[in-house]
Amino acid sequence: MDRLRHKYNPEYFYNKALSLLDTVSKDEAISWYQHPCTQSLLNSLEGDLAGLVVAWLGGGYSEEKSSSGTAQKVAKARGMAQAIDDMVQHIEEIKSLKIEGESID
């Protein structure tokens, strides 16, 4: 129920993310970042991003009969690329024990 109450409050989740790092030392964060599981995740994300780029360069997001179809496919690919980049950024932030998030106004 607690999760539902805060479901639409990004600031709650950013604060929770920061508080979870309060007990983590810099050495622990670096060790986590260097762990093979974390590195595997990062490599998988980088592979996903490279796959998007290769597909785009190969015309995989083109729609022969519709420019609006192409625009939709490109927009979806850009969104996926942004999500991947955001995840990599969050992993980097955890390594430095600092979660930035977006400003909430």
Half-sphere exposure in the Cβ direction for 53 (13 Å, CA): 9
pLDDT in tens, 32-54: 999 999 999 999 999 999 999 99
Q: Is the pLDDT of residue 102 over 70?
A: no
Q: Which alpha helices (DSSP H) does the chain contain, by range?
A: 2-5, 10-20, 26-34, 36-57, 67-95
pTM for this model (two decimals)? 0.77
Lowest mean pLDDT among 2-11, 38-47, 91-100: 2-11
Residues recorded for the chain = 105
Q: Is the pLDDT of residue 101 over 60?
A: no
> What is the distance between the alpha carbons of residues 57 and 55, in angstroms, rounded to a whole number?
6
> What is the distance between the alpha carbons of residues 27 and 35, in angstroms, rounded to a whole number?
12
Give the pLDDT score at 42.
97
Which two three-digit tokens encode residue 89?
Answer: 């950024």
Closest to 56 (Cα-Cα) out of 87, 80, 86, 84: 80
